[in-house]
Chains A and B, each alone.
Chain A
Amino acid sequence: MMNFDYVRPLTVAEAVAAASEKGATYLASGTNLLDLMKGGVCHPSRLVDVTRLPGLDRVEYLADGGVRIGALVRNADLAHDAEFARAFPSVAEALLSGASAQLRNAATVGGNVLQRTRCAYFYDAPSACNKRWPGAGCDARHGENRLHAVLGWSEACIATHPSDFCVPLVALDAVVEIEGKSGRREVALEALHRLPGDTPQRETLLERGDLIVALRLPAEARGFAAHARYIKVRERTSYAFAVVSAAASLRIEQGTIREARLALGGVAAKPWRARAAEQVLAGAAPDAAGFREAARIALADAKPSGDNAFKIELAERIVVRALTLATAGTPARIPALPGSPFSSGVRHVA
């Protein structure tokens, strides 16, 4: 690990100033950043430790029914907040399906959103990677790429965004509050992460010095609490990143879907909102034929970026499964194996 300067500001303004210098980066718990620094993937010249910034470690329930999650709230604390899990069950399930208990106890929600891809070529410093070294090429493109992107990828980069948490958040219209050199602003989470295009090194629309201070979910997101699931296929049942995942949220009245929210994980460089599929579901009956049609539409633009054509069919099946399980109803308690397709008594309809 290269050496660095370490500072621990006590106000957001000091933090933003300290992180606005070239080479500086924010440190929260460091569960991803330290790993990247040990591997020689990241070598910041200054770490700005934000863990002592006041007021960012709270979950606030807003008067309008929304919720504001401070960026330093730990993944485990949010998932185990009973009111949060009741109102936004698919978000809690996604959090608990990710990483291990130790990592969830440490990792912050702000850090979760900004975690880096787990593409093995990005992690392997000697490999060519356009994220690490723009213009170097992409060794993943013709390498071991069965877990890489099937949507929104480019010749420059086929990496995926690894977060589970972001998938239901983007489905539920989460907003990101950002403090930067020119003050406070907010953007939809859906707009935060960028597709790679020719500049895969630009992963988000954040500028130097920008600090995520909170995430917000609107009151309308509560309307799906009765029919919301996050389903994730992994190469082992626990403590693994998604091969593909889906967050499905439905508002069902008198046997008809009034409104649907659907997003996919593990398929692209960003959490992937499937709006066209949502529109087909709205007004339809919650049945197998409709779910299969929605899944087909959600993956209509998908194409393999290598040895990963199976992910397209798999993603369609996971969409159908997530919609089926959401229709059956949010379980009273998050399942023993959160997000697992293998833990439910409901039969697969496809």
Chain B
Amino acid sequence: MNFSISLTVNGVRREIELDDPRVTLLDLLRERLDLTGTKKGCDRGQCGACTVLVDGRRINSCLALAVSQDGADILTIEGVAHGDQLHPVQAAFIAHDAFQCGFCTPGQVMSGIGLITEGQAGDDPERVREGMSGNLCRCGAYAGITEAVLEAQNTLANSDQRRSA
């Protein structure tokens, strides 16, 4: 049985035919849409490497059936920069050495963007660490990740102020 779904992925509307209902959103992105920036780590919702935004909210794409996301707006790591201009969270990760091997980084960046959008952490490093606890980093770059998210949040808040001034 085939399932026709429609997704907006990084701003582009895609009509997708699924020949199997078992495909996760993660496998759809990586294997069928060739968006391999989203990583498959544990594939069981424990590591956060597959984090993407669905309708603006960060989720684990490995634990979401693609067919159930019909109509959703998906943002992946490939969609956050503007050309050569990095997203403030990406730029802050580089500035703060917030990675070593880089495998978890796309998920960390998407999770950081999601956390800043949620607006619950403020400038409290403890709340940022707690809010980022769904993303594991085997290299242990956690100190840099916390600093990067805090700095990116400031950068985004300042640019919002400039826009509204």
Task: Give A residues with C-beta under 8 Å from B.
Answer: 1, 3-6, 8, 27, 29-31, 34-35, 38-39, 47, 49, 51, 76, 80, 99-103, 105-106, 238-239, 336-338, 343
Contacts and interface: CB of A to CB of B under 8 A. Distances in A.
Contact of B126 (A80, A105, A336): A336
B24 A34 contact: yes
Interface stretch (B9-17, B52-60, B77-85): B52-60
Determine the main DSSP class of A at the interface with B: loop
Given A4-B22, A27-B68, A337 B126 contact: yes
B114 interface: yes
Contacts of A30: 63-65, 68
Contact of A106 (B3, B64, B133, B135): B64
A102 B22 contact: no
Interface residues of B, number: 37
A100 B134 contact: yes
Contacts of B133: 100-101, 238-239
B21 interface: yes
Contact of A31 (B45, B51, B58, B120): B45
B45 A3 contact: no
Given A30-B68, A336-B127, A47 B21 contact: yes
Given A100-B133, A102-B48, A336-B124, A27 B22 contact: no
Given A3-B22, A35-B44, A49-B68, A106 B63 contact: yes
Contacts of A103: 45, 59-60, 63, 134
A99 B133 CA distance: 9
Interface in B88-119: 111, 114-115, 118
A47 B51 CA distance: 24
B97 to A, nearest CB: 23
B165 interface: no
Contacts of A35: 44-45, 63
B67 interface: yes
A238 B126 CA distance: 11
Given A27-B65, A30-B65, A105-B59, 6 more contacts: A3-B20, A4-B21, A34-B62, A102-B59, A102-B111, A105-B58
14 contacts: A1-B22, A6-B3, A6-B65, A27-B65, A30-B68, A34-B24, A38-B43, A101-B132, A102-B59, A102-B114, A103-B59, A103-B63, A106-B57, A336-B126
Nearest to A34: B63
Contacts of B65: 6, 27, 30, 34, 47, 49
Contacts of A343: 126
A230 to B, nearest CB: 15
B60 A106 contact: yes
Contacts of B115: 101
Nearest to B129: A238
Contacts of B45: 31, 35, 102-103
Contacts of B58: 101-102, 105
Nearest to A29: B64
A76 B64 CA distance: 17
Contacts of B124: 336
A223 to B, nearest CB: 27
A101 B111 CA distance: 9
